[in-house]
Each structure stands twice: as structure tokens, then as C-alpha cells.
């Protein structure tokens, strides 16, 4: 009788030990999965369409107008202390001039990207700027493309007359994205 009780106790202890080890392993897997997911940094992108440009039908790459230069200065006031770590702009003068005052204030280079290759820009941001705050000046079509490609909503092409839209895109650790759309500077005409 005693031997049977001892054998049953040992079997019960073995079963309890197996379950304890199983729970420990499962717990470790859950903790590792949690840490892997939530230790990845959040990336914030601030996107604008270039500021107002000089209207010249004979010039496909015009400079900013005086109103556009004022709008570019507004970006310095708004984001000069925002912790921006990188600035990107397409190859056009108008996008370069939109971010140049902010880049000068922050002591950062303007990384030029091809407006026809948003995929290249996204690859660079994912590899070089993960977990950072990044400023991007694009064009009426590239800004919505970038937002959608990173998981944000599908915005239509920005109307030709609108220069005051500003988008703050937060890409979370899980890959989900949230966009805050707002206006800045003087209202567009």
C-alpha cells in the first residue's frame, strides 16, 4: 500500500514538473515575443508638400515664391526643436528650398530622393531612420504615396492650390500607422 502511494506521488510529481516546465517554456516564448515586438522603436514622419512656387509655364523646376519662402520659415519655427534626425526632399528646387531653412537650423543635410522612386525613400527610412523623427518634403502626388505605402490611409493627390497641409505619420512597432493631418502657416489661396 505504501509502495503504491509512493509510486502515485512520484507520477503526480512528474506530471506537475512536466506542466511547470511547459508553462515556463511557454512563458519565456511569450516574454521574448513581447520584447521583440515592443522593443522595436516607433518611427515618426512629418510630411509636407513643397511650399508655394513661382508660377512660370516656361520653367519646369521653379524656385519658391515669397509666400513659399515664408512658409518654409514657418517650418523652422514649428519643428526647430522637434528632435528631427533626418530630412529628405525630392530633386526639385521647390522641395529642396522648402526644407533648406529647417536643415540649416538643425545642421542636417538634405537627403535628395527621386520623386519617381518612393520605394527607395522608404527603404532608406526603414534601414537608416527606424525609431527616429524624419522630415520629408514631397510633391502633390508623392506625399500621399508615402503615407499609403507605410500603412496610412489612402489620401488623394493634393490639389494644385494647396500648400498648407502637414501630415504627421506615426509608424508603430507592430507596423500599424496613424496619421494626423493638419494645416500650417497661412491658409492656401
pLDDT for the residue numbered 41 = 78
Q: Which range among 26-40, 116-130, 150-164 shows the weakest confidence by mean pLDDT?
A: 26-40
pLDDT for the residue numbered 175 = 84
Cα of 132 vs its chain's centroid, Å: 8
What would the mean pLDDT of 168-181 be, rounded to a whole number? 93
Domain boundaries, the chain: 1-39, 43-183
- Average pLDDT score, the chain: 88
pLDDT for the residue numbered 174 = 85
> What does the pLDDT look like over 81-123, one tens digit per residue?
999 999 999 999 999 999 999 999 999 999 999 999 999 999 9
C-alpha 48/C-alpha 59 separation (Å) is 22
Which runs of E-coded beta strand occur in 5-119? Answer: 43-49, 84-90, 110-113
Q: Check pLDDT > 90 for residue 38.
A: no
Q: Check pLDDT > 70 for residue 51.
A: yes
- Residue 101 and residue 143 in contact, taking contact as beta carbons nearer than 8 Å: no
Q: Which of 10-19, 31-40, 138-147 has the highest mean pLDDT?
A: 138-147
pLDDT for the residue numbered 169 = 98
- 127: its cell numbers: 534601414
Residue 139, number of CB atoms within 10 A of its CB:
18
Phi, psi for residue 16 in degrees, rounded to 5: -65, -40
Q: Which CATH superfamily is domain 43-183 in?
A: Phosphoglycerate mutase-like (3.40.50.1240)
Q: Structure pTM?
A: 0.80
Rg of the chain, C-alpha, whole Å: 26
Q: Which of 160, 164, 165, 143 is nearest to 152 (CA)?
A: 143
Amino acid at each position: 500500500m505504501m509502495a503504491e502511494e509512493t509510486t502515485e506521488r512520484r507520477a503526480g510529481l512528474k506530471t506537475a514538473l512536466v506542466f511547470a516546465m511547459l508553462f515556463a517554456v511557454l512563458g519565456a516564448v511569450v516574454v521574448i515575443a513581447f520584447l521583440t515586438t515592443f522593443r522595436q522603436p516607433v518611427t515618426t514622419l512629418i510630411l509636407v508638400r513643397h511650399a508655394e512656387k513661382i508660377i512660370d509655364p516656361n520653367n519646369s523646376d521653379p524656385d519658391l515664391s515669397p509666400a513659399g519662402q515664408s512658409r518654409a520659415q514657418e517650418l523652422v519655427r514649428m519643428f526647430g526643436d522637434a528632435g528631427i534626425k533626418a530630412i529628405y526632399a525630392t530633386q526639385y528646387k521647390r522641395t529642396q528650398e522648402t526644407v533648406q531653412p529647417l536643415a540649416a537650423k538643425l545642421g542636417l543635410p538634405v537627403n535628395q530622393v527621386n520623386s519617381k522612386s518612393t520605394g527607395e525613400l522608404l527603404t532608406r527610412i526603414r534601414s537608416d531612420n527606424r525609431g527616429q523623427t524624419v522630415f520629408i518634403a514631397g510633391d502633390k502626388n508623392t506625399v500621399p504615396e508615402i503615407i499609403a505605402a507605410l500603412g496610412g490611409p489612402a489620401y488623394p493627390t493634393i490639389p494644385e492650390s494647396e500648400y498648407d497641409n502637414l501630415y504627421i505619420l506615426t509608424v508603430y512597432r507592430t507596423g500599424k500607422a496613424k496619421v494626423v493631418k493638419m494645416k500650417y502657416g497661412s491658409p492656401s489661396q
